Structure formats: structure tokens, C-alpha cells
Amino acid sequence: MYHKPVLLAASLEGLALKKSGTYVDVTFGGGGHTKAILSQLGPDGRVVAFDQDEDALNNQWGDDRLLLVHQNFRYLQKYLRYHNIDKVDGILADLGVSSHQLDTPDRGFSIRFEGPLDMRMSQNIDTTAEMIVNTYDETTLGNIFYRYGELRSARRFASEIVTQRKGNKITTTQALIELLRPMVPEVRFQKELAQIFQALRIEVNQELSALEALLEQSAQVLHPHGRLCVISYHSLEDRLVKRFMQYGCFDNEPSKDAFGNSQLPFKKVGKMILPREEEIQINKRARSAKLRVAEKL
């Protein structure tokens, strides 16, 4: 399976689907969420799906109610306008990396396989993880590991990489793993290695700025009472989602107009939803998932 949809039932419930509604799945992937949404819509319902990964395009199927846009979701509003869609009834985002991307060694996302240090979610992206590891200066590299990997030893990792790359260019996932192995006790190695790969992936794909753009545009394109459902997998994503749903911005207090009145585009719907143990047993990658739902005011 290309990707098993996470928190599927909870996502559909969060969207509060209407038979004739227009919905956006900004992370099409294997099409699992999209197919489930379409199954609950009538003939006048519609799903606009986004995916920047060329591989995901192979997963579309014949359904006149489905429009698949091959673009990053940071361009949500632009492409909705291009297709003459002003407002939608719901937006679903399942963030992170698909099972297909993780399980394809040539993509370089996983610590489990030997592969090139790539990590691009779209081949149209110019920057690769190899470029970052071999050309970023020590300070910048350390900042990436600290900010996006939340690693206490970020500076030490960056220093070692810069030292080692003087002799041989670091071009594969295994080369990076073996370089870092002596620096971390075995009991923490898998966790910290995953954090380093996460940091590189976020920098390559500019994931957090794309998420901010999506959240800000969602407030513009949703009908009143439209739903925003976001599934995140690490604290950096979840923090942005939580703050935006609560405050309408990425600070810890609401935006205010010229008269000092709070401007809240959303109200939270229910509490954060976690996968049940049964789902985690079936799909291990669901274990870190968090679903938050908000309604447009």
C-alpha cells in the first residue's frame, strides 16, 4: 500500500461532510483520505486534492468529482482560484512523509535503507539533503539541527559533519549514519538519528513555512462553518496548528484589529484526537499522529 490513511474515521467526522460540499485534501498521497471523502459525497460533491510528489499522481482514478493538482499546498488559494473555486467546505491535511516515500530507498527519507541523501518531496525542489550536509556552514547546520530536530547536541553534530566532509563528501544516508554513530550512545541513537533526518527533511522541503502558508490561506478559502482538520506528527507542526486554531496567528495571543478587538478566524472543535491502540497495532506510523479540528467563524 502506498500509504495507509491515519485517523481516517476521526478525520471524516471532523470534516462534518455535506453531500454536495467541496473539500480539499492537501496531501493526496495514496488517495486514501480522498477516496473515503468521495464515498460520502453525492454526485454534486467534489474533492480538490494537492500533492507535489510526482509518484502520487499515479494513484489517481477515474472520478469526475476529483481534481488532482500537482503542486505544494502552499499554493492552495492560487490554484483554487485558477479552477474558479472561491470557497470550500472543508480542508484536510495529513502532514509528514508517506509510507511510500519512507519505503523507497532512492528517496533518502528513511534511516532504515541505504540511499542518496535526497529527501525532496518533489523533484522540482533544487535543494537536497546532500547539498545541505556538504555546503552549509557549521553555524547554519547547527541551527537547523537545533530548530528542526530539537537536538541538544546540534552544534556538536554540525561540527563533526563539517570536519568529516573535508576528507570525503557525504552522499548517502548510510555514510551520514556511520559518521554520527560514534557520537551517540546506542540507547539514544535511533531517536537522535531520526531527529537529524527530520531536521534535514524540513529544511529541504521548507515544510514549516509551507504549513504556515496553508493555515493562513485556509482562513481565506473556507466558508463560514467550514472545517479545518490537520494531522501532525511532531511538536513543531502541532505547535503551529494549535496556535493558529486558537489565536489565528502563530504567536501566543490573538491578532487584533485597529480598535484592539481580537480577530479569531476559527473556533476549536473538541479536543486533540490521538489514534487508538488498535490503529497503532495495524499501522505503526500512526503512533505519533495528532488530529486537531477547527471551524471557520
In three state form, how does the secondary structure of the chain look? CCCCCCCHHHHHHHHCCCCCCEEEECCCCCCHHHHHHHHCCCCCCEEEEECCCHHHHHHCCCCCCEEEECCCHHHHHHHHHHCCCCCEEEEEEECCCCHHHHHCHHHCCCCCCCCECCCCCCCCCCCCHHHHHHHCCHHHHHHHHHHHHCCCCHHHHHHHHHHHCCCCCCCEHHHHHHHHHHHCCHHHHHHHHHHHHHHHHHHHHCHHHHHHHHHHHHHHHEEEEEEEEEEECCHHHHHHHHHHHHHCCCCCCCEECCCCCEECCEEECCCCECCCHHHHHHCHHHCCCEEEEEEEC
What domains appear along the chain, each with residue ranges and CATH number? 8-99+207-296 (3.40.50.150), 105-205 (1.10.150.170)
Q: 22-62 pLDDT, tens per residue?
A: 999 999 999 999 999 999 999 999 999 999 999 999 999 99
What confidence score (pLDDT) does residue 262 get?
81
Q: 97-138 pLDDT, tens per residue?
A: 998 999 999 999 999 999 999 999 999 999 999 999 999 999
Q: 157-213 pLDDT, tens per residue?
A: 999 999 999 999 999 999 999 999 999 999 999 999 999 999 999 999 999 999 999
Band of pLDDT at residue 252, cut at 50, 70 and 90: confident
User: Which pTM was predicted?
Assistant: 0.95
